[in-house]
Amino acid sequence: MIENIDLSLVNWSRAQFALTAVYHWLFVPLTLGLSFILAFMETIYVRTGDEVWKKITKFWMTLFGINFAIGVATGIILEFEFGTNWSNYSWFVGDIFGAPLAVEGILAFFLESTFVAVMFFGWNKVGKKFHLTSTWLVAVGANLSALWILVANSWMENPVGMVFNPDTARNEMASFREVVLNPVAVDKFLHTVTSGFVLASIFVLGISAWFLIRKREEHLARKSILVAGIFGLVASVAVALTGDSSARTLAQVQPVKFAAMEALYEGKSDAGLTVIGALTDSGERLGEKKVHDVKLRIEIPRLLSIMTTGKGSGYVPGLKDLVNGNPEKGILSVSEMMERGKYARQVLTDYKMAKEIGDTETMEALSARFKESDFTDNYFRYFGYGYFEHPWQVVPSVPVIFYSFRVMVGLGFFFILLFILALWFYRREALERNRWFLWLALLSIPLAYLASELGWIVTEMGRQPWIIQNLMPVGVAVSNISAGAVQTTFWLFAVLFTALLVAEISIMVKQIKTGPKH
């Protein structure tokens, strides 16, 4: 795919990182959402003085602790992999990627870990209000951790607030504010944490439904369903709104991913949003990539144009526009971007050669070139395209993105309905009489995890082949190590993470069956 690249090494490195990320994300969203549910429950206890709410809070806190402990282990391994498997990437991003992660460690993680001990062990050792404050600070700390990690991830999708230093061949942060307020980061943080709130709410709802099915802890279950139903419904609506905002931003900064999500090959005005559809091979090719037709399509007319341009008649570029170019719409072809990227790479190569031979005059001239806005805006911004051999290589797997996105969105609307039904049956005191709903709530727990994982599949698979959008393809980001070493650690991690997941599930199930302490 890319010159002088060991594809086996790239694929195994990607597989290992994907494995770690998928397992890690099985634990994170429950931590994000359940921490706030605990804070709400304990707030009710402190305000009312009702000991039942204390028992409810302590029960869910036990499950939170199990999930939190195992989630930390996978997160630590995930960060280490940047240095072991992706050293070229780590070097190229300079201090930009590391700065948000450092802030996450110094502020959020310490805030979270300091007060989590008080939250678990301080019930009879500190006052009610201090303990409640600790619980709230754990919730805030957990979500602040997510903020800084997502800021780092969002920079990879929309690199802003940096300058390139030709002496070190690294990108260096020029504006911390721009990095933090990156529109991708704002949208992603709000969308990610609210999706975690939804997952945690369904987790609480489903386990509470199990108690009602078994006719156990019925008071705890009904009260928990009330809190989870309200929190989950508000969070579900927020997920829908932030998802809409994310799509608008995505259409601007990652148009290829956006077009792949819709399987939109031909650009069009008055573009409708596909709600349901099935892909078939049209027999046509975009380079070596298959072109897909969308059959059995159900769409909302003009909505895609409205989402991306603000008006129903707006033009939405398709994959053919984005690959082949469309001069009428001001869209450069990938071939042109490749030429500009190769020129930017050549300027860097010439600078390094001049530096080696001590040609200070040439060095100064080329160094000044990197600071010129014309060079930065028209050439260096396409630096990563210089590594490609064919324009079609910028297109991700359309079927994976298309179907993952639709299943995720469909489940999101299903969850809204689920929370509405939960609150409706609670208000009518009809939860126990509608056992079908209780089973539906219980069986929805794995669906919440599926929707959460699919969101990351859309995000990460959709931006392939980039590890840093437009600047660095995945293929040139790997470390200079053997593919066999990565393959070995892949299987070791697979066994380890699976064991951790099995341990969590077994401990959780045992604790749920035991129920709250009386």
CA atoms within 13 A on the CB side of 343: 15
From the list 512, 419, 500, 510, the residue with the least C-alpha distance to 24 is 500
Tens digit of pLDDT for each residue in 169-203? 888 888 888 988 999 999 999 999 999 999 999 99
Angle at 65 between CA 59 and CA 66, to 5 degrees: 100
Rounded mean pLDDT, 372-385: 89
pLDDT of residue 109: 66
More confident residue, 518 or 325: 325
Rounded mean pLDDT, 496-510: 88
Instruction: Place 1 in a pLDDT band, splitting at 50, 70 and 90.
Output: very low
Tens digit of pLDDT for each residue in 405-436? 999 989 999 999 999 999 999 999 888 889 99
More confident residue, 454 or 106: 454
Helix, strand or coil for residue 425? helix
Phi-psi map region of 470: left, alpha, beta (phi>0 left; psi -120 to 50 alpha): left
172 forms bridges with which residues in the sheet? 163
More confident residue, 111 or 284: 284
How far apart CA 206 and CA 438 sit, in angstroms, is: 7
Place of tokens 């395209």: 385
The region of weakest confidence among 89-98, 205-214, 495-504 is: 89-98
CA 386 from chain centre, in angstroms, equals 27
Tens digit of pLDDT for each residue in 71-99? 777 777 777 777 778 888 888 887 787 77
pLDDT of residue 246: 85
Which segments within 317-471 are labelled E, that is strand? Answer: 466-468
Rounded mean pLDDT, 99-111: 71
Rounded mean pLDDT, 204-218: 92
Identify whether the C-beta of residue 155 lies closer than 8 Å to the C-beta of residue 185: yes
- Which residues are within 8 A (CB) of 141 and not within 5 positions of it... i.e. 6 or more apart? 108, 109, 111, 112, 113, 115
Angle at 439 between CA 435 and CA 441, to 5 degrees: 115
Identify whether the C-beta of residue 424 lies closer than 8 Å to the C-beta of residue 38: no
pLDDT of residue 4: 60
Place of tokens 């091979």: 281
Rounded mean pLDDT, 36-48: 93
Rg, C-alpha atoms of the chain: 25
pLDDT > 80? residue 110: no
The region of weakest confidence among 33-47, 80-94, 227-241 is: 80-94
pLDDT > 60? residue 337: yes
Above pLDDT 90, what percent of the chain?
A: 34
How far apart CA 157 and CA 398 sit, in angstroms, is: 18
Question: Distances from the Cα of 59 to the Cαs of 54, 64, 206, 428, 505, in angstroms?
Answer: 9, 9, 15, 26, 16
Tens digit of pLDDT for each residue in 301-323? 888 888 788 787 888 898 999 99
pLDDT of residue 224: 93
More confident residue, 408 or 515: 408
Helix, strand or coil for residue 57? helix
The pair of three-digit structure tokens given for residue 166, joined into one six-digit string: 């030709």
Helix, strand or coil for residue 481? coil
Place of tokens 């000991």: 51
Q: What is the dihedral angle through the alpha carbons of 254, 256, 258, 261, rounded to the nearest 10 degrees?
A: -140
For the chain, the residue count is 518
What is the torsional sign of CA 25, 26, 29, 35?
Answer: negative
The region of weakest confidence among 2-6, 46-50, 104-108, 249-253 is: 2-6
Rounded mean pLDDT, 271-290: 86
pLDDT > 70? residue 446: yes
Instruction: Place 107 in a pLDDT band, splitting at 50, 70 and 90.
Output: low
Tell me the average pLDDT of the chain.
Answer: 87
